[in-house]
Structure 1
Amino acid sequence: MLEDQSGTLPTAERSWSVDDAAALYNVDRWGGDYFEVSPNGKMIVTPLGSRGGRIAILDVVEAAMRDEGLKAPLIIRFQDILHHRVRVLNEAFSKAIAGSKYRGQYRGVFPVKVNQLREVCEEIVEAGRPWHYGIEVGSKPEIFAGLALHTDNESLIICNGYKDDGYIRAALLGTKLGKKVILIAEKLSEVKAIVRIAGEMNVVPEIGMRIKLASRGAGKWAESSGEKAKFGLSTGEILEAAKILTDAGMTRSFKLLHFHVGSQIPDILIIKRAVREAARYYSKLRRAGHPIEYLDVGGGLAVDYDGSRSTFHGSMNYSLEEYARDIVGNIADICDEERVPHPHIVSESGRAIVAQHSLLVIEAFGAIERSTAAERLPTPSLTEHKLIKSLGDIVAHIDERGLVESWHDLQETKEEAQKMFELGLLELDVKANVEAEFWRVAKRIHEASKTIDPAEFPDDLRGLASELWTQHICNFSVFQSLLDHWSFGALFPVVPIHRLDERPEVEGILVDITCDSDGKISKFIDKKEEYVDALPLHRIGDAPYYLGVFLTGAYQDIMGDIHNLFGRVNEVHVFLDDDEECGYYLEETINASTIGDVLQMTQYDARDLAGKMKGQVDAAIKQDRLKPTEGMRLLAEYERGLREHTYLSF
């Protein structure tokens, strides 16, 4: 219910304000430094937090459409946010190091798997240059891209993932170029392979080892940690690997110890426990004579998607500053206790760098709303039909009989109508009006039920709200743009980007245009519960109605698929600029996939398809089914369609 979503939603008798909207959609919680609601009801982005300008997201959508011809669905990237995120991460560690008199440096790396798009990686590399902020790669394609992107030889390239000879040789090529490339051994055989190939290439490698900690992560990615993790070495294997290096005369190549307790860790206690365990491993190895210089704490820095500041899997119960202080402080404590040097600290934060910088704008172009159907129906031919009378009797006695009994009677009448129809005893116009009146009365019962104390709410009415939810039909594909929501129920903030100065009239879910019942957004963030099943929405009028799906910059760009052959969407990159009258400019636009593009991905060739269609048109002309002029026009229309985008065009 609307009241349940905000806890402070004003009654219909009181006026609506944008503050009510900010509370209802929890913007003041998940929006952090970057998102807010303007006095005129538009969603605003502040890419540099409190230090920079403000941009109305709807203005960007309209500018992209007007100036570049780009329609929704549309990804908007606010590239200044990437710079801001890199800065605040590095400043948090710098402050923590200074505050604890830590005797090592922070050398962060961005894991490119979180968003491999060139424009994103280039901005992050450039933003991180003042802090020698590096990159992490986890596959052969990523190391090839990473070598070219990396231009600061003081920053690190961390090489994770399983490796073959080709991967190792590419990494060592970077070493020969003077780059600080550290190959992380995920299994014992990789240590032997690195030693062998380094000898063949006449280069001294820098090697790290990933340790399997007993400490486990939490949330959706807990299985990536612990002693049964997919990657990493046991304690015995670490010692054996160190002996292999010693026997090969490469003792000094053992540069880094790495661990990873999973992505999106919501609870700071898990991070603290893992850091202390890893610091103990580091200290014991240092005392044994291994000259390790870096301790890589992996990823896990979370994003508060729902704004609850809790241990829900989509949230986090700590701040960035607390995260940095706890890592630095716990490593320092263990090292001081063991009397070993403080290592340089590496972290692999990806989600926390890129999640906030992009959002998906979708247009709702239609709605399925049961309770309004009666308004569009003609008067039935049998206005005095007993079923119509039964419905009228239910309405007349709601107060007398109570909501639960009225709901039972209403359901019974609907079932009776269905049975009569199956027996051929009910005409279509009467059936249609019975169904429409059913939903109208159901809505009245639902509205009346909102005054019931939640502790005394009848079980029989609990499912009524969901029966009345609208389905806003949106021009996008969940499978292409929000795969994490479909695959494991990841939550993203969803908010209308305009009309927030208007009270939402309905609750509903968002359905996409794929031919798949799973193509929907049906779980939404909530400040009280882990999630809610419906979103407050406005009714769709003559003007476009746009919704923003926020915090989508991590993984969604890369992991989307082409289910139903819906491809990549239009994209626009935005930068703040005080010299511009509007305060920003569209730096780059990327057109969506065309129909021809996605067909090519499934082994169709656009020219071959056009050629086959031409053959069919020619045959139709010869058989006098088409005139030549009409045939050529239809063929041109087909060829033009192959160059159009895969989404609907309004």
Structure 2
Amino acid sequence: MELIVNKHSSWTVEDAEKLYGVKRWGAGYFEIGPNGNLHITPDQANPDMRIDMRAVIEEIKEEGIQFPVVLRFHDILRSQVAALNEAFISTIEEAEYQGRYQGVYPVKVNQMREVVEEIVDAGAPYDYGLEAGSKAELLSVLAYNTNPESLTILNGYKDEEFMRLALLARKLGRRIIVVIEKFSELLLLVRLAKQLDIKPLVGLRSKMTVKGRGKWEGSGGDRAKFGLTISEIIKAARYLESEGMGDCFKLLHFHIGSQLTDIRAVKEAINEGARIYAELYRMGFELEYVDAGGGLGIDYDGSQSTSDSSRNYSMSEYVADIVFGMKEVCDLEGVPHPNLVTESGRAITAHHSCVITEIVGEIRANSAEVDTVAVEGEHYLVKNMRELAETVMSQNNFQEIFNDASQWKEQAMDAFKLRVVSLEELGKIETLYWRTMVGLQKRLKAEEFVPEELQELDYNLSAQYLCNFSVFQSAADTWAIEQVLPVVPVSRMNEEPTENCSLVDITCDSDGKIDQFVMSGGITDVIPMHTLKPGEDYYLGLFLTGAYQDVMGDMHNLFGRLNEVHVFSHDDDPQDFYIEEFVKGSSVEDVLSIMQYNPQFMAQTVKREIDRKISEGTMQPREGVKWTDFYEDCLSGYTYLKRARQV
């Protein structure tokens, strides 16, 4: 891998944009400001209103809120809801489509109450609804989706209690549609509906032959987890008809995967779904809705490609293909245009949330050196390595230098194990080896061609910046499915970043790292960062975390949920924003209680031990009180490092 950044004297924010590609993945919400700080434009209809991320961080510090934090820009959330709905409205008008759009937000993407509330409120003018896929989600949706004109779509496998809740919603006058995932669910629903004398609204999910593109392409095809085959759809429709409930069949649903990378998959799915709808309508089932499911992707890496972390289409193209694709088939088949439903979650929520963490230290393989002055009687391996280190800047046989240094380092370790080389001599050899590698790296910068093996020098010599957060809690997908999330410093981007780094978290796990980064040249295993300055905080942002990352994190090492700061834009404020709410993250006693510990008992046990030491005379009473208070303060405190400084 080639070194990403070459030093030059006239670094600008335009250079930073070329390097980090903020505009490419920022979707118009994020860009680098003239002062080198990351700026947010939460309302694209008002581009003059810009929030300086560094100003937000300084206010958080003034409020005494501890990092790391999740920042939520609720105006971005609202903007995305409006953008999707307005795209459908304008395209439907342009196409002279006869149905309307009634989208739903799938709460599984981010179930946080504040997120759901904002989406419901922003979607109210559009009758934008919610989707639930579990009993707990349905209970929350019943309480929050109170608009009688909006839809509630129920997906997932269902038991009797789930069905009864759905029928309760119908009793309350809600437009709630139970999507049947397997035939036995329909038998249960019909029995309960007749027993309670409540007329349900029924949807059938088709198991599509079309497959999506990307990590979740298994959502379609014959081996899909959910849905009915064509034979089962016909059987289910006829069963409803035989039970006198044919008019309850209101919706056809299909879904071919999340984060669809290729627009062709959308086109194919709409064509297949539209033809199934048309045939069912001609069979006598006058469906009102076709639900195209989720899948609207976002461009995590800014490449506008079919890579797993991107998409080769825009939101407007996605909408146009659904509207025009459905219209074309319906017109050919001579059936009415159905109302259109989509279940876009990732595209709605991803941009509104980010994780801000501070760098608390750095780790380098070559960070420590020992005195390498020659002494009488030293081992020849020390002498050889010293000569190599002293001449590396004047020799041109780069591969030979690398080979010799690597071989002598390995031989030195073998000799140490046999007690031929002392520990001090081994330390000298290690120090000289890394000096040689650093010199070799400097020489290679000017070379047009670098052998493959030597390209690894940049990675081996790069720093590991230690971040005060847990990958497993705040960026689970980067670890679990190698999802790429954009990472950039939030300030100093008007300075040239000269340190190539990977990122490691504070968990006791070697997998707690991020070493895949979105760069101008593609995905790289290091990212250019700025040199850490003693006594000066340095913050990074991990972006596009609003979809799934907020709700999928685990408590590895008992690191809990992060502190949350909710930011709203405000045109009359000098800094164009205000902090609307602070939601405290998990305390140590919170996460311990979840794991079945009793923090009160733990505190009492430690206090008894301290009291025993006081009674024995090995600890002073005043000291004992301080240690007791300290232990209890730690129990009630944040699970992350507190105001740690760079070292």
Provide the TM-score with structure 1 as the length reference: 0.95
2:526 aligned to 534, 537, 540, which one? 534
Measured in 2, the distance between the counterparts of 1:248 and 1:320 equals 41
Task: Please say if 1:393 is aligned against 2:387.
Answer: yes
Partner of 2:167: 172
Task: Please say if 1:382 is aligned against 2:378.
Answer: no
Q: CA deviation at 1:537?
A: 1.4
Note closer, same or farther for the CA distance 1:66–1:369 as it changes in structure 2 (3 Å cut).
Answer: same
Deviating more after overlay: 28-37 vs 180-189:
28-37
> Could you tell me whether the CA contact under 8 Å between 1:372 and 1:436 is conserved in 2?
no
Aligned 1:298-447 pairs, distance under 5 A: 298-374=293-369, 377-378=370-371, 380=373, 382=375, 385=378, 386-394=380-388, 395-396=390-391, 399-447=394-442
- Secondary structure of the structure 2 residue equivalent to 1:300: coil
Partner of 1:34: 29
Measured in 1, the distance between the counterparts of 2:247 and 2:435 equals 77
Measured in 1, the distance between the counterparts of 2:375 and 2:120 equals 73
What per-residue deviation string (whole Å, max 9, x for no partner) do you get for residues 466-496 of structure 1? 2112111111100000101100100000000
> Could you tell me whether the CA contact under 8 Å between 1:380 and 1:429 is conserved in 2?
no
What per-residue deviation string (whole Å, max 9, x for no partner) do you get for residues 302-354 of structure 1? 01000000000110000010000000001000000110000000000000000
> Could you tell me whether the CA contact under 8 Å between 2:2 and 2:458 is conserved in 1?
no
Task: Please say if 1:222 is aligned against 2:217.
Answer: yes
Measured in 2, the distance between the counterparts of 1:13 and 1:162 equals 59
Measured in 2, the distance between the counterparts of 1:188 and 1:364 equals 54
Deviating more after overlay: 157-166 vs 520-529:
520-529
Note closer, same or farther for the CA distance 1:405–1:2 as it changes in structure 2 (3 Å cut).
Answer: closer
1:584 aligned to 577, 584, 600, which one? 577
Measured in 1, the distance between the counterparts of 2:348 and 2:211 equals 23
Measured in 2, the distance between the counterparts of 1:121 and 1:589 equals 17
Measured in 2, the distance between the counterparts of 1:185 and 1:528 equals 46
Partner of 1:639: 632
1:458 aligned to 451, 454, 459, which one? 451
Partner of 1:54: 50
- Secondary structure of the structure 2 residue equivalent to 1:275: helix
Q: CA deviation at 1:617?
A: 2.2
Measured in 1, the distance between the counterparts of 2:115 and 2:406 equals 54
2:38 aligned to 20, 40, 43, which one? 43
Measured in 1, the distance between the counterparts of 2:371 and 2:67 equals 36
Measured in 1, the distance between the counterparts of 2:452 and 2:588 equals 49
Q: Percent identity?
A: 44
Partner of 1:295: 290
- Secondary structure of the structure 2 residue equivalent to 1:220: coil
Measured in 2, the distance between the counterparts of 1:574 and 1:62 equals 13
Measured in 2, the distance between the counterparts of 1:335 and 1:622 equals 87
Note closer, same or farther for the CA distance 1:397–1:441 as it changes in structure 2 (3 Å cut).
Answer: closer
- Secondary structure of the structure 1 residue equivalent to 2:215: helix
Partner of 1:595: 588
Deviating more after overlay: 128-137 vs 219-228:
219-228
Task: Please say if 1:471 is aligned against 2:464.
Answer: yes
Partner of 1:249: 244
Aligned 1:598-637 pairs, distance under 5 A: 598-637=591-630
Partner of 1:211: 206
Measured in 1, the distance between the counterparts of 2:376 and 2:472 equals 46
Say what the alpha-carbon RMSD is for the aligned residues: 1.7
Partner of 1:143: 138
Gaps of 5+ in 2: none
1:71 aligned to 44, 66, 75, which one? 66
- Secondary structure of the structure 1 residue equivalent to 2:580: strand
Deviating more after overlay: 395-404 vs 566-575:
395-404
What per-residue deviation string (whole Å, max 9, x for no partner) do you get for residues 288-308 of structure 1? 000100000000000100000
- Secondary structure of the structure 1 residue equivalent to 2:368: helix
Measured in 2, the distance between the counterparts of 1:174 and 1:431 equals 74
> Could you tell me whether the CA contact under 8 Å between 2:497 and 2:529 is conserved in 1?
yes
> Could you tell me whether the CA contact under 8 Å between 1:398 and 1:406 is conserved in 2?
no
Structure 1 letter corresponding to 2:574 = E
Gaps of 5+ in 1: none
Measured in 2, the distance between the counterparts of 1:58 and 1:380 equals 47
Note closer, same or farther for the CA distance 1:384–1:649 as it changes in structure 2 (3 Å cut).
Answer: farther
Measured in 2, the distance between the counterparts of 1:253 and 1:616 equals 68
Task: Please say if 1:492 is aligned against 2:488.
Answer: no
Structure 2 letter corresponding to 1:649 = K
Q: CA deviation at 1:229?
A: 0.6
Partner of 1:523: 516
What per-residue deviation string (whole Å, max 9, x for no partner) do you get for residues 64-86 of structure 1? 1212x112211100000011000
- Secondary structure of the structure 1 residue equivalent to 2:375: coil
> Could you tell me whether the CA contact under 8 Å between 1:263 and 1:299 is conserved in 2?
yes
Measured in 1, the distance between the counterparts of 2:343 and 2:501 equals 38
Note closer, same or farther for the CA distance 1:133–1:356 as it changes in structure 2 (3 Å cut).
Answer: same
Note closer, same or farther for the CA distance 1:37–1:640 as it changes in structure 2 (3 Å cut).
Answer: same
2:187 aligned to 192, 196, 199, which one? 192
Q: CA deviation at 1:392?
A: 4.1
Measured in 2, the distance between the counterparts of 1:29 and 1:273 equals 27
> Could you tell me whether the CA contact under 8 Å between 1:2 and 1:507 is conserved in 2?
no
- Secondary structure of the structure 2 residue equivalent to 1:370: coil
What per-residue deviation string (whole Å, max 9, x for no partner) do you get for residues 115-158 of structure 1? 00000000000000111100000000000000101121111000
Note closer, same or farther for the CA distance 1:532–1:553 as it changes in structure 2 (3 Å cut).
Answer: same
Structure 2 letter corresponding to 1:65 = K
Partner of 2:20: 25
Partner of 2:498: 505
Note closer, same or farther for the CA distance 1:397–1:464 as it changes in structure 2 (3 Å cut).
Answer: closer
Deviating more after overlay: 606-615 vs 226-235:
606-615
Structure 2 letter corresponding to 1:538 = H
Q: CA deviation at 1:575?
A: 0.3
Q: CA deviation at 1:60?
A: 1.0
Measured in 2, the distance between the counterparts of 1:528 and 1:37 equals 18
Note closer, same or farther for the CA distance 1:433–1:40 as it changes in structure 2 (3 Å cut).
Answer: farther
> Could you tell me whether the CA contact under 8 Å between 1:33 and 1:50 is conserved in 2?
no
Q: CA deviation at 1:427?
A: 4.3
Provide the TM-score with structure 2 as the length reference: 0.96
